[in-house]
Amino acid sequence: MKFPIPKLLKKSALINPKQYQQMYAESIKHPDLFWSKLAEEFLTWNKSWDKVSNCKFQNAQIEWFQGAELNASYNCIDRHLPQRAKQPALIWEGNSPGEKRTVTYLELHQEVCRLANLYRSLGIKPGDRIAIYLPMIPEAVFAMLACARIGAIHSVVFAGFSAQAIRERVLDSEAKLVITANEGFRGDKVIPLKDIVDQALEAVECVEHVLVVKRSASAFNLQAGRDLVYQEIIQNYSDQAECQVMSAEAPLFILYTSGSTGKPKGVVHTTGGYLLYAAVTHKYVFDYQDGDIYCCAADIGWITGHSYVVYGPLANGATTVLFESIPTYPNAERYWQLIEKLKVNIFYTAPTAIRAVAKDAPNGPDKYDLSSLKVIGSVGEPINKDAWLWYYEKVGRGQCPIMDTWWQTETGGILISALPGAIETKPGSASRPFFGVNPVILDPNNEIIQTPMEKGRLFIAGSWPGQMRTVYKDPARFKQTYFSDAEGFYFTGDAAYFDEDGFYWITGRVDDVINVSGHRIGTAEVESAIVTSGIIAEAAVVAVEHEIKGQAIIAFCVLKNLQPENAEKLVKDAVRAEIGAFAQPERVCFVPGLPKTRSGKIMRRILRKIASGESKEIGDVTTLADPSVVNEIIACYND
């Protein structure tokens, strides 16, 4: 099933099919030349580069625009002021419909300068880390850009993470300052952010100050000497602040993400390459043109928010919508109401959100004027055909192509996607590689698969400017995780195949990473969280398919002693406390033992079969240390 490029876009889009072919070919043949041209076109540099790229995957070495200098805040704000001072940079849509704030580029400049001056007055120097634990409010964007302005490195922590999760991230990044709000709102839930931060920072020594934004009138605790209230002091600072000129390879931010083993990794993105890649992909993938109202519904706590709410759109001088609420509050028509009200031209959200609103209000979009839309996007997990078709027909009215964008925290920006005027779409396929991206699918022997429809592991040959540069403080882990599976290739962790048309289909992770509602969760992290409940000797978690969330977590747990009455609650609470509510298992199953090989490795494959009701297809279990445990687990699960 294939959908053509809509007529209107054929005429108006930035690039047509022929141009895509030409540009793509050029980008692969002469990547340095290709990216240097775009770097000149898209960004303003204080100093040009000596060398465009210097990358050797064998050594996990990635460098772009060596010797060049720029400032990301200048590129996202200052340089737009001559033409765009009065244009809205941010349109904030608060949790309750009707709560709204518009921030023009001029106001953004003033707010960011004030905050940059405040940071400087607290002794924050270039290279220092600032942790941001904020809801989706304009101050979150100010906080990020003010870091960029003074060369400090931000580490945004999603406001759904628990105290323990913040603590780990603050300690790993040795943040000097934490910025939070008194509380946050998501639908009808109130999240006591300041209390959570207080708990997170108990006995943490690196943090010198906590800056609290008053999101509401509710009272909150203030620790004398440490805590400052944003609204009480921000006016004391000048609305002019110089930009710290940074090297292209200076870290812009750290963002923690989960892997198959161990603790979350601090993914490091740098200033020049990242900003360029975010800007270029934002423009071409969404066909962003001057004057478009652009809305990405993602949270700034994740990479989608960094690249496609903040950096990409603002580097391009766009008006970007900040959406604080959830798609189902106060009802499942919230998105459509927002699109109608703000006359949104480009809308970007996740399959899980589409499925949730399609289920609750299948005809919801019919009631609204969505004619402003020209391109709609999807990100975070494979989008199933039903959700795709609903989105296409109900929301896009058959006139807006769906950009199913495949990428990762590590890639900084979109690597595989259709392009509105240049590439047709197929439901469920992320379509074709972006400029400069060379996907490779390898078989179990690390041979490159040349035949369509044959599934293998997805790797990328050659670097692109938005690629992560290292794992914070752990270059060895960077090399091991991404460059050790096949020499000379970047390993994505995903499985995929391509079809006869050269369209890519991503089928899911091949490692122990679970994707719940687009949130990336490591099995190992959930398992160690479960053990902190104190009642569990050993746990193994697997994913099962879920109608709305895409995947849900099933936990198999071996109790230490007799089962307490509230055992399931204790296990779930432990996960909430260690990671956050979004990582809670859907179901906890208490079993007498786990299926292990003789060398002690847990066979999650077997648990996956049991959890998805396919216990008849388990196959050979003779390699297990104790094969009889399998039937016992099946009995517990079906109980």
Residues of the shown chain interacting with ligand WT7 in the complex, contacts defined by CB under 6 A: 257, 302-304, 379-382, 404-409, 430, 492-494, 506, 509, 515, 520
Helix axes 523-531, 567-578, angle to 10 degrees: 120
Query: Of 142 and 489, which CB lies nearer to ligand WT7 in the complex structure?
Result: 489
Report CA-CA distances (Å) from 169 to 161, 208, 467: 10, 16, 21
If the CB atoms of residues 133 and 504 are measured against ligand WT7, the closer one turns out to be: 504
CA dihedral of 167, 171, 176, 179, whole degrees rounded to 10: -30
Specify the residue, 583 or 629, whose C-beta has the smaller distance to ligand WT7. Answer: 583
Structure tokens at 48: 């040009």
CB of 186 to ligand WT7, least distance (A): 19
Rounded CA separation 245/619 (Å)? 60
DSSP state of 47: B
Query: Cβ of residue 604: shortest distance to ligand WT7, in angstroms?
Result: 17
Pairing label, strands 587-590, 550-559:
parallel
Sign of the dihedral through C-alpha 215, 217, 222, 227? positive
Nearer to ligand WT7, 2 or 569 (CB): 2
Least separation in angstroms between residue 252's CB and ligand WT7 is: 17
Contact 543, 554 (CB under 8 A): yes
Q: How far is the CB of 431 from ligand WT7 (least distance, A)?
A: 10
As measured in angstroms, the least distance from the Cβ of 387 to ligand WT7 is 12
CB 238 within 8 A of CB 255: no
Q: Which backbone phi and psi does 129 adopt, to 5 degrees?
A: -105, 140
Surface-to-core class of residue 290, CB atoms within 10 Å of its CB (0-12 exposed, 13-18 middle, 19+ buried): exposed
Count each helix (H run) and each strand (E run) in the chain, helices first: 21, 30
Q: Give the shortest CB-416-to-ligand WT7 separation in angstroms.
A: 8
- Of the pair 424, 573, the CB lying nearest ligand WT7 is at 424
Here the tokens at position 7 are 């007529």
Cα gap 17→10, rounded to integer Å:
9
Q: Which is nearer to ligand WT7, 94 or 401 (CB)?
A: 401
Q: Which CB sits closer to ligand WT7, 45 or 406?
A: 406
Query: Residue 543 CB, nearest distance to ligand WT7 (Å)?
Result: 12
Residue nearer to ligand WT7 on the CB measure, 379 or 540: 379
231 CB-near residues (< 8 Å, 6+ apart): 213, 214
**Residue 415: CB minimum distance to ligand WT7, A:** 9
Nearer to ligand WT7, 136 or 201 (CB): 136
Choice between 324 and 404, CB closer to ligand WT7: 404
Give least dist CB 457 to ligand WT7, A: 11
Angle, alpha carbons 205-208-210 (nearest 5°): 115
Give min distance, CB of 118 to ligand WT7, in A: 31
Question: Cβ distance 611 to 585 under 8 Å?
Answer: no
Q: Are the CB atoms for 549 and 352 separated by under 8 Å?
A: yes
> What DSSP letter does each residue of 589-611 carry, written as one string?
EE-S---BBTT--B-HHHHHHHH
Beta bridge mates, 376: 347, 402
Closest contact distance (angstroms) between CB of 115 and ligand WT7 is 27
Strands 456-461 and 489-498: antiparallel
